[in-house]
Amino acid sequence: MKNSEVRELSDKELVEKIENEETHLVKMRLNHAVSPLDNPNKLKESRRNIARLKTELKKRQLAEMQKSE
């Protein structure tokens, strides 16, 4: 997921995406522990997607806090 795609999402969609990505990452980690994944780079990609989503959400929260001051 690209940063431009992340910026287009609403706050509610961001929260839902974060939850989905985190559950998906946990499932992938469990599967990888039992038997190796075909492409272990998907773990890295998923972690980075979660970080992108959380960064955008935090950025929006900080911007809203500054507006209210």
Domain 3-68 has CATH 1.20.1270: no
Q: For the whole model, what pTM was predicted?
A: 0.89
Closest alpha carbon to 33 in 23, 43, 47: 43
Which class for 43: exposed (0-12), middle (13-18), buried (19 or more C-beta within 10 A)? middle
pLDDT at 1 over 90: no
Domain ranges in the chain are 3-68
pLDDT at 68 over 90: no
pLDDT one-digit tens code per residue, 15-67: 999 999 999 999 999 999 999 989 999 999 999 999 999 999 999 999 999 98
pLDDT one-digit tens code per residue, 55-64: 999 999 999 9
Give the model's pLDDT for residue 43. Answer: 96
